[in-house]
């Protein structure tokens, strides 16, 4: 049951980083291993919270897998929670939080998962571990592209 947690300070504002991570349809453009993402359902709560059901396709060399998650975008609390629905995992939980920092934002990324298949876990485990280590970096680079390399330093 691999678990990965990373906290990183970035030079962009918490609301900007939340919006960037919440824009799941764009993941295939920049996120390691992500080959496709399709929104199946989108529900607004009216309190600044939106829930998505999304199907993501991931791949590495000849290995391709798809899985479905329920993504809760809690904009007022600057928090994103991902719950596993269906696919090759026994379970998967993922959280993002975004907090003010003296300059910019502190981003916390947490993921805990286990594959149903022991063989797939062995095969993909090290690949996923390397990819998760690059996730926050990929989002930070995406933020530099979308919001400018100077981020909160420019305001």
For 87-135, the DSSP string reads SSEEEEEEEEEEEE-SSSEEEEEEEEEEESSHHHHHHHHHHHHHHHHHH
Domain ranges of the chain: 3-150
pTM: 0.89
Query: What would the two tokens of residue 55 be?
Result: 């199907």
23 vs 27: CA distance, rounded Å: 8
Instruction: Give CA–CA dist 40/46, Å, rounded.
Output: 19
CATH code at 3-150: 3.30.530.20
What is the rounded CA–CA span in Å between residue 58 and residue 47?
A: 32
Assigned token pair, 136: 């926050």
Residues 90-136: tens digit of each pLDDT:
999 999 999 999 989 999 999 998 888 887 777 676 776 777 777 77
Tens-digit pLDDT profile for residues 27-41: 999 998 899 999 999
């Amino acid at each position: 049951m691999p678990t990965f947690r990373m906290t990183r300070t970035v030079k962009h504002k918490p609301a900007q980083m939340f919006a960037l991570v919440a824009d799941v349809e764009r993941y295939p453009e920049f996120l390691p291993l992500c080959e496709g993402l399709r929104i199946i359902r989108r529900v607004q709560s009216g309190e600044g919270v939106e829930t998505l059901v999304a199907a993501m396709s991931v791949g590495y060399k000849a290995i391709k897998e798809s899985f479905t998650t329920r993504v809760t975008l809690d904009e007022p609390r600057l928090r994103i929670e991902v719950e596993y629905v269906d696919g090759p995992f026994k379970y998967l939980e993922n959280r993002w939080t975004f907090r003010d920092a003296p300059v910019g934002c502190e981003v916390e990324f947490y993921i805990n998962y286990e594959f149903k298949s022991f063989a797939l876990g062995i095969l993909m485990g090290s690949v996923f571990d390397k990819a998760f280590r690059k996730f926050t970096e990929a989002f930070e680079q995406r933020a530099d592209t979308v919001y400018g390399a100077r981020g909160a330093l420019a305001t």
